[in-house]
Amino acid sequence: MHDLAIVGAGPAGMAAALAVAEAGFSVVVVDEQARAGGQIFRRPPEAWGERHGTYRPYTWARDLIERFEDHPGIKTHFRSTVFGVLRDRDRSEHAVFDVAVSTPVGGQRITSRRLLLATGAYDMPVAFPGWTLPGVMTAGAVQSLLKSQKVLAGKRIVLVGSHPIQLILAGQLLDAGAEIVEIALARDMPGLVEMVRSLPAIPGHVSIFSEGLRALAKIARHRVPISRRTVVSEAVSKDNMLDVRLSQVDRDWKKTGINHTVEADVLVLGYGFTPSTELARQVGCDLIWNSVGGGWTVSHDTGFQSSAPDVFVAGEPTGVAGAERAWAEGHMAGLAIAASLGATIPPVALAQARRRLTGSARFAGVMQAMFAPRRAALAELSRQEETVICRCETIRNGKIEKTLQNNPFIQSASAVKLECRSGMGPCQGRYCEATVAARVAEVRKASIEASGYFNAHLPVKPVPLQDYRDIGGE
């Protein structure tokens, strides 16, 4: 039995693991990736003989990864997926968790006294005609290929979206030899008022801003055209290439009707990130709607304990706010977990952790406000009858609208799922939930928040059936 099981070895999971292990408790960490670092610090395969990747502009990453990997009190399972968590309240006054894990050699049960969900985020899905075509990829996927495999997703690339990751990624792709045909940003460049409002975010984050400026300089040097107030509205496959149709939009990202088409072999979407909350849902944590934080986030107290007893949360599941914030939250959650296990936390350590949280919140708040997605406008891109909404079950927009028309009692995204299977495939709705909820909101003249979220069941991710047999139990 471990004192703490952590799902996710990103900045949040690593920081929490260290705080708990340094207090003398046993920690086990499970991650789907091959090495620690999470989405942001993806590293080349171990077999290449390089311990580290490039972590710029996060100067603390190298030290965090080394201390995490070298700590004798932290056990790790990589290339392993947590597909559900079972809780047995009868065995002690606290919950005892049975964490169901799919490993490369079969299913395993890990038992622990506390559970921390540091599961990160995934690229925000945006449905439009052609979004399921080969060659249409998300920013995170293209960047992961580059960072961990040193592979360029394509040669002629067009980037669309609203998230600053697109500019950083453009710089990285140019360095790797790609031709960027165009960068289409949904928003305008920040005006003077916005720039003044963002000043409080700068102290302590100069290196992050410099990284952005470096990327912009590179884009200018390569004379890459940047279109403002432009969104993608369609992709069509033609002779192994994509015709990407871009549309002009107003301040609210509503189409104003002027279009142009660019030809590329890869279209990269980067409208933001969505918190990974499927395990939190399955284990019974309460969620809160936070549009600028990426959508549904896990509710928690000041020590990052969720509404489910002994279940803690840190990093992007509490709202997408960047690596620095994830690190600060993980550290604070780790101190709170150690305290709940009986450790005495020196007040000075707590005060320092609180200061880090405050500093990172300033930066995150400015970034979230500046790059907030216009959800209704993005959902509008999927209005054509034939547009695929649920790619796992191939459910098209026409079917969802008909379901809502024929069933006036349906008021929630979950009810749409039960009626027409949108969200019932292997991704368990991660890629259609936002669009389905937006459609319910629009038809029922309610908010997206009121449309709710899909419930999550074990397995929250697809795993071989044999892994169920391996974990045994009733």
Ligand X SMILES: Cc1cc2nc3c(=O)[nH]c(=O)nc-3n(C[C@H](O)[C@H](O)[C@H](O)COP(=O)(O)OP(=O)(O)OC[C@H]3O[C@@H](n4cnc5c(N)ncnc54)[C@H](O)[C@@H]3O)c2cc1C
| Residue numbers at the binding site for ligand X (CB under 6 A) | 7-13, 30-33, 38-40, 81-82, 118-123, 140, 143-144, 165, 168, 273, 276, 279, 315-316, 322-323, 326, 461
- H/E run at residue 109: strand 106-117
Provide the minimum distance between the beta carbon of 18 and ligand X in the complex, in angstroms, as a whole number: 13
The string of DSSP letters for 167-195 reads: HHHHHHHHHTTPEEEEEEESSPPP-HHHH
Judged by beta carbon, residue 135 or residue 315, the one nearer ligand X is 315
Query: What is the SS3 assignment for 338?
Result: helix
To ligand X, the closest distance from the beta carbon of 12 in angstroms equals 3
Q: What value, to the nearest 5°, has the Cα angle with vertex 406 and ends 402 and 409?
A: 120
Least CB distance to ligand X at residue 309 (A): 21
Q: Which residue's CB is nearer to ligand X, number 278 or number 380?
A: 278
Element containing residue 82 per DSSP (H, E):
strand 81-88
DSSP 8-class letter at 105: T
Label the pairing between strands 27-30 and 74-77.
parallel
432-437: list long-range contacts, CB under 8 Å, 24+ apart.
432/125, 432/127, 432/389, 432/390, 432/391, 432/392, 432/395, 434/124, 434/125, 434/274, 434/295, 434/375, 434/379, 435/125, 435/127, 435/379, 435/382, 435/389, 436/389, 436/390, 436/400, 437/413
- Nearer residue to ligand X within complex by CB, 315 or 373: 315
Nearest distance, CB of residue 143 and ligand X, angstroms: 5
- Nearest approach, Cβ of residue 15 and ligand X (Å): 8
CB 325 to ligand X: min, Å: 8
Q: Can you tell me the distance from the alpha carbon of 474 to that of 341, in angstroms, rounded to the nearest whole number?
A: 29
Residue nearer to ligand X on the CB measure, 33 or 233: 33
- Using the minimum distance from each CB to ligand X, give the nearer residue, 78 or 289: 78
Taking the least distance from each CB to ligand X, the nearer of 415 and 471 is 471
Identity of the residue, 281 or 375, whose beta carbon is nearer to ligand X in the bound complex: 281
**Diameter of the chain by CA atoms?**
65
Residues in CB range of 360: below 8 A, 6 or more apart: 321, 322, 324, 325, 327, 328
Please identify, using beta-carbon distances, which residue of 125 and 129 lies nearer to ligand X: 125
Cα–Cα distance measured from residue 167 to residue 458, given in angstroms and rounded to the nearest whole number: 37
Give the nearest distance from C-beta 62 to ligand X in angstroms: 15
Please state the closest distance from residue 331 (CB atom) to ligand X, in A. Answer: 11
